[in-house]
């Protein structure tokens, strides 16, 4: 019978340790003097000491009644360095690793750090990155830890494809995704790298896209990502099942509350039968009905939707059930993380206060409004139980981000020439949620100075108050006179309906012609009308005005269509030198067709000036340019005074009307280029001058041309480019109908604006 060998030691000797106390090593060994231990227990002691991560080597040697433990300590890290990294800075990599200077070096931790650095590069799309930890021995048992990094190339997404999509093209679906294909502009586009988390986000974007268009059964069955052999490119394919498109069937409102009249709520429902179903439309109706319940004094009323599917006719019946929710109140609202933004700026995004009934949907809407402010990099709004089960505490945790910008740059205009520009804007001025901006543009032919201020919650109400100040001087080389214009305009704005907004304003305007001496003869190249206006001296206009706007782009039943209507008037005569009415109107409608590949847009703009005291001058009348009607220079159409000696003065008109029709469509280029095309057709006119102007021109030996309504027609093509400098639009136009006095403009480059 074999007997296991045992040991008993009267003493334990530790050798080789410099930094680590002998008692610490003995505690890892767990062997006491006089204790009988087996060979297996000695091996366990060896493993415990080695696994402490403090020693490179460990030797346990029994010597009779004495146990000798010899150790070689790991060195301490003198410094940590990174070599070969360009895409990720040293300070960012330092935050990724666990190894630290003046700490014990551990090969296991160093290998884990190398893996963490590799993963950091993977999130940047550099899957071929390799990281090797290297140790450089120094004196006094110290080492330098160096991570040698080969960053490799970016693993771009060479191609994004779809399988199973029949209603929307690959091109249309690629525009939905946050991930983009690599292209010519890959140096500027950082979303063409393969990142798994982004792919998951793209799957959700696809689901939201289809479900908002009635495809309630849509699902992504899988995503195939194939890596090229060189590990520098991915080919990503989304496998989808679209299903059938459903429309809204019967819409009803029911109630199980005896004190609630469902007919009142039914009359306020805007969702109609036959509309393409969208969960957003249902959510909007629920919010609208719950707000109605609050206005009617019906607390704790909840609207629960019930969706009944009709596969035969592909409709979804929607029933809004009015029911009683739990009697829960808001105990308090706690806000944290706002170091600059005042609490009241965040609190006013809530439609409820302490003591009000708790409505989860209203809290979610408030959270969205907080995020939409743009003041915070992150904003979390959570509800938790309060001091009693019938109370909740709303926790708002925000992370602030910069909200101001200061820019210096240059500018060029075909009318103003080259100039320097300085601008400052702050959307959260002094943490009060106010907007403040000023700009200075000193072009060679025009100097413009402007200051603006907006308080979005004046007197703590849903009332916008603002002030605009501007001062402009012009000094054009081809003009014999200069102009000066100053404007002071305070205003207030407030909603009058779900889609309607009303602005009331006061405008004080100063205008003057300069560089004209009325005691001197008229310059030969200056018309009699402008000379008469210029010598009339300075003018001050004081007016009250309003603008009503109606906008359905955010609340309409069709997410691909919208309408914007604006109508405004200014009534001058509240003091000042003239009495007149200035009317302006604007209407824009847009829709998407052909599986949302083509955008159709139509717009109309018009204005009228009617004077009852005084007369309009060139600085008052409508002088339109390519920003309103393409194909002509600024002041290129409308009444003009022409005559011998080079007289050719644009007079502007007391009336103008322009209708524009355009289509925007893809050109077949990769979406990541941000380039699309368009065609347009513009028709408009500027007309109407003051009585007696013809006599003034005739006396000066000139004539007034184009004073009457006469439509001009323009056709053209556009190239839209979402460039690194911003959205640009290049217009190539050709007038179909013009007069010999008009000033055509066949090409212009502008900053593109989207409806």
For 361-375, the pLDDT digits (tens) are: 888 889 989 998 889
Alpha carbon 553 to its chain centroid, in Å, reads 16
Per-residue pLDDT at 353 exceeds 70? yes
Could you tell me the pLDDT band of residue 1, with boundaries at 50, 70 and 90?
Answer: very low
Could you tell me the pLDDT band of residue 446, with boundaries at 50, 70 and 90?
Answer: confident
Of the listed ranges 49-63, 384-398, 420-434, the one predicted with least confidence? 49-63
pLDDT in tens, 551-577: 887 665 566 778 999 999 999 999 899
Of the candidates 83, 77, 82, 122, the residue with the CA atom closest to the CA atom of residue 104: 77
Alpha carbon 401 to its chain centroid, in Å, reads 14
Bridge partner residues of 579 (DSSP): 613
pTM, full prediction:
0.73
DSSP at 632: B
What is the C-alpha end-to-end distance of the chain, expressed in Å? 95
pLDDT in tens, 455-508: 999 988 889 999 999 999 887 655 666 788 999 999 999 999 888 999 999 999
Q: What pLDDT is recorded for position 444? A: 67
Q: Are 653 and 637 in contact (CB under 8 A)?
A: no
Q: How many residues does the chain have?
A: 755
Q: What pLDDT is recorded for position 229? A: 65
Could you tell me the pLDDT band of residue 740, with boundaries at 50, 70 and 90?
Answer: very high
Q: What pLDDT is recorded for position 125? A: 67
Could you tell me the pLDDT band of residue 189, with boundaries at 50, 70 and 90?
Answer: very low
Per-residue pLDDT at 406 exceeds 50? yes
Helix pair 360-372, 279-295: axis angle to 10 deg: 110
Of the candidates 268, 366, 276, 369, the residue with the CA atom closest to the CA atom of residue 316: 276
The CATH number of the domain covering residues in 6-73: 3.10.20.310
Q: What pLDDT is recorded for position 359? A: 86
Of the candidates 22, 148, 138, 8, the residue with the CA atom closest to the CA atom of residue 76: 138
Give me the architecture of the 156-241 domain, per CATH: Roll (3.10)
Alpha carbon 135 to its chain centroid, in Å, reads 47
Of the candidates 292, 385, 397, the residue with the CA atom closest to the CA atom of residue 330: 385
More reliable by pLDDT, 58 or 233: 58
Highest mean pLDDT among 270-274, 518-522, 612-616, 656-660: 656-660
Task: Label residue 110 exposed, middle or buried (CB < 10 Å: 0-12, 13-18, 19+).
Answer: buried
Could you tell me the pLDDT band of residue 750, with boundaries at 50, 70 and 90?
Answer: confident
Give me the architecture of the 479-751 domain, per CATH: Beta Barrel (2.40)
The 10 Å Cβ neighbour count of residue 745 is: 20
The CATH number of the domain covering residues in 247-324: 3.10.20.310
Q: Are 709 and 591 in contact (CB under 8 A)?
A: no
Percent of the chain with pLDDT over 70: 91
Could you tell me the pLDDT band of residue 417, with boundaries at 50, 70 and 90?
Answer: low
- Domain boundaries, given as residue ranges, for the chain: 6-73, 76-150, 156-241, 247-324, 329-400, 479-751
Q: How does the average pLDDT of the chain come out, rounded?
A: 87
The CATH number, out of the four listed (3.30.559.10, 1.20.1560.10, 3.10.20.310, 3.40.50.2000), of the domain defined by the range 329-400: 3.10.20.310
Highest mean pLDDT among 335-339, 342-346, 655-659: 655-659
**329-400: same fold as 6-73?**
yes
Q: Print the SS3 string covering 20-63.
A: CCHHHHHHHHCCCCCCEEEHHHHHHHHHHHHHCCCEEEEEEEEE
Per-residue pLDDT at 307 exceeds 90? yes
Of the listed ranges 18-27, 157-166, 284-293, 687-696, the one predicted with least confidence? 18-27
The CATH number of the domain covering residues in 76-150: 3.10.20.310
């Amino acid at each position: 019978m074999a007997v296991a060998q045992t040991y008993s030691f009267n003493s334990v000797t530790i050798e080789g340790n410099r930094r680590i106390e002998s008692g610490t090593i003995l505690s890892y060994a767990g062997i006491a003097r006089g204790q009988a231990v087996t060979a297996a227990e000695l091996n366990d002691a060896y493993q415990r000491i080695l696994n402490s991560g403090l020693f490179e080597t460990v030797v346990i040697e029994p010597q009779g009644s004495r146990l000798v433990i010899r150790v070689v300590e790991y060195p301490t890290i003198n410094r940590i360095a990174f070599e070969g990294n360009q895409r990720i800075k040293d300070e960012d990599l330092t935050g990724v690793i666990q190894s630290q200077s003046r700490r014990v070096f551990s090969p296991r931790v160093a290998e884990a750090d190398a893996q963490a650095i590799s993963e950091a590069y993977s999130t940047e799309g550099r899957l071929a990155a390799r990281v090797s930890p290297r140790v450089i021995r120094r004196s006094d048992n110290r080492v330098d830890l160096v991570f040698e990094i080969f960053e490799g190339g970016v693993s771009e997404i060479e191609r994004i494809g779809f399988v199973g999509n029949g209603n929307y093209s690959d091109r249309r679906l690629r525009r939905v995704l946050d991930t983009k294909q690599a292209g010519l502009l890959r140096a500027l586009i950082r979303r063409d790298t393969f990142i798994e988390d982004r792919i998951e986000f793209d799957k959700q974007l696809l689901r939201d896209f289809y479900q908002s268009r009635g495809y309630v059964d849509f699902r992504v069955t899988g995503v195939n990502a194939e890596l090229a052999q060189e590990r520098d490119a991915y080919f990503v394919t989304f496998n989808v099942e679209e299903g059938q498109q459903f429309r809204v069937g019967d819409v009803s409102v029911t109630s199980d509350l005896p004190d609630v009249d469902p007919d009142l709520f039914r009359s306020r429902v805007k969702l109609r039968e036959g509309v393409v179903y969208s969960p957003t439309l249902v959510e909007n109706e629920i919010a609208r009905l719950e707000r109605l319940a609050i206005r009617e004094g019906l607390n704790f009323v909840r609207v629960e939707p019930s969706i009944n599917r009709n596969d035969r006719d592909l409709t979804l019946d929607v029933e809004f059930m009015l029911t009683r929710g739990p009697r829960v109140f808001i105990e308090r609202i706690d806000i944290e993380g706002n170091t600059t933004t005042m609490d009241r700026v965040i609190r006013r995004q809530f439609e409820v206060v302490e003591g009000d009934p708790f409505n989860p949907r209203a809290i979610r809407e408030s959270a969205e409004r907080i995020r939409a402010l743009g003041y915070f990099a992150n904003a979390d709004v959570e509800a938790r139980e309060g001091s009693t089960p019938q109370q909740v505490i709303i926790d708002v945790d925000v992370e602030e981000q910069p909200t101001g910008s200061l820019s210096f740059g240059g500018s060029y205009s075909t009318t103003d020439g080259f100039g320097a520009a300085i601008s400052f804007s702050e959307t959260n001025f002094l943490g009060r949620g106010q907007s403040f901006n000023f700009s200075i543009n000193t072009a060679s032919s025009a100097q413009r100075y402007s200051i603006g201020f907006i308080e979005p919650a004046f007197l703590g109400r849903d009332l916008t108050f603002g002030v605009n100040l501007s001062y402009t001087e012009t000094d054009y080389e081809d003009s014999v006179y200069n102009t000066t214009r100053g404007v002071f305009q305070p205003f207030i704005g407030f909603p009058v309906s779900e889609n309607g907004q009303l602005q009331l304003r006061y405008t004080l305007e100063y205008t003057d012609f300069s560089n004209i001496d009325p005691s001197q003869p008229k310059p030969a190249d200056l018309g009699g009308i402008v000379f008469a206006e210029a010598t009339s001296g300075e003018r001050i206009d004081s007016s009250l005005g309003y603008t009503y706007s109606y906008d359905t782009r955010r609340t309409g039943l069709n997410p691909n269509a919208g309408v914007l209507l604006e109508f405004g008037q200014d009534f001058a005569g509240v003091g000042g030198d003239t009495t007149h009415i200035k009317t302006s109107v604007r209407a824009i409608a847009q829709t998407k067709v052909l599986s949302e590949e083509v955008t159709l847009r139509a717009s109309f703009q018009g204005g009228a000036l009617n004077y009852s005291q005084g007369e309009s001058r060139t600085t008052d009348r409508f002088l339109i340019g390519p920003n309103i009607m393409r194909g002509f220079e600024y002041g290129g159409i409308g009444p003009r005074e022409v005559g011998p000696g080079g007289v050719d003065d644009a007079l502007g008109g007391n009336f103008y009307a322009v209708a524009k029709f355009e289509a925007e469509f893809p050109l077949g280029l990769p979406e990541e280029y941000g380039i699309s095309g368009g065609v347009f057709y513009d028709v408009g006119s500027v007309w109407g001058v003051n009585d007696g102007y013809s006599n003034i021109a005739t006396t000066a030996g000139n004539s007034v041309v184009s004073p009457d309504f006469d439509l001009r027609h323009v056709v053209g093509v556009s190239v839209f480019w979402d460039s690194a400098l911003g959205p640009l639009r290049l217009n190539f136009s050709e007038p179909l109908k013009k007069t010999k006095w008009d000033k055509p403009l066949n090409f212009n480059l502008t900053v593109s604006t989207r409806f």
